[in-house]
Amino acid sequence: MNTKPIDRRIAREAASWFVRLQSSGACAAEHVAGAEWRALHPDHERAWQLAERFSTRTQQLGEGAARAALERPCNLVRRQTLKTLALLIAAAPVGLTAYRGLPWREWQADERTATGEQRTLNLPDGAQIRLNTGSAIDIAYDDSVRHVRLIAGEMLIEVSDVHVARPFIVSTAQAQIALSGSRFLVRQYSQGTFLAALEGTAEVGLRLSRDGRMTGLAAGRQTYVNNQAVEPSVPLAQHRLDWLSGVLRAEKMRLDDFINELDRYRRGLLRCDPAVAGLLISGAFQLRDTDQVLHALSQTLPVSVHYRTPYWVTVTARTST
């Protein structure tokens, strides 16, 4: 049995094909195209078979529900069906325990990037968002406000215009941010939000605060927001921009912190043994080849890199031979 996780993009494509072809309106040409897609790669066929399995076992995703959803292509039910089916397909190979712990909110997001992926989104008013690896956002535009919710990961947002009557708002788990400029970095951490104003200014407040108090952030400054406060701003650290050019830069960084950062760009499980966690590393590393980065670690530090599988890697102390 193949237990390798199915790529999220393939899972979404399989869900889309499956639901489309369950529709009573699917034509012969669509069925032929679907069969061709299944034949393109073994993972395509594996994802399709998982879709069939879940369609017969899960009432929510049964044939009747899928068909009804597809008959209303703009309906929220269809969108939810596709997202849920894609989640089940991607989660199935890693087992029930991992499935239960998957980040549902990220999967339900309007836009997301996979591990190691970066993508640029063009918004209706000319604004642009660059999503870093493993990121997810919701987008809400109407006549009164433009709102982007960062659910996970990191983004560079460039606003082409700012209107008092139609503000541009960014929110995270901790922060509510009103942009008054053009270029900003935002990253969601597990316990807080990082924000940097590259160009222009912003007003930052606690998302759940009742007093509505906001703190100004000037161009060239960065801050961190936790659940209790907006920390005083400091000058922007230039290494914060390195991911835009595919680089991970370290300056006397603890090895465990470095591995945690590298893990964001690598599929599977990457861990650092506590015995070597405190080693310090410096340098600039190209993120396009994380295996090469791990090899460089073994050449510059007294560590070994152990591959249990290509997707399960541990950095440990080097043993003498």
pLDDT in tens, 175-192: 999 988 789 999 999 899
pLDDT in tens, 211-263: 778 999 999 999 999 989 999 999 999 899 999 999 999 999 999 999 999 99
Is residue 149 within a helix (H) or strand (E), and if so which, with residue range? strand 146-158
- Picking from 118-127, 149-158, 177-186, 208-217, which range would have the lowest pLDDT averaged per residue? 208-217
What's the whole-model pTM score?
Answer: 0.67
CB 174 within 8 A of CB 226: yes
Rounded CA separation 157/168 (Å):
11
Residue reference for tokens 């900003």: 184
**Domains of the chain with bracketed CATH:** 8-102 (no CATH), 111-239 (2.60.120.1440), 246-317 (3.55.50.30)
User: How many Cβ atoms from other residues are within 10 Å of residue 99's Cβ?
Assistant: 14
Rounded CA separation 105/283 (Å):
35
Report the candidate in 306, 298, 304, 263 with the shortest Cα–Cα distance to residue 281.
Answer: 298
The amino acid sitting at 99 is Y
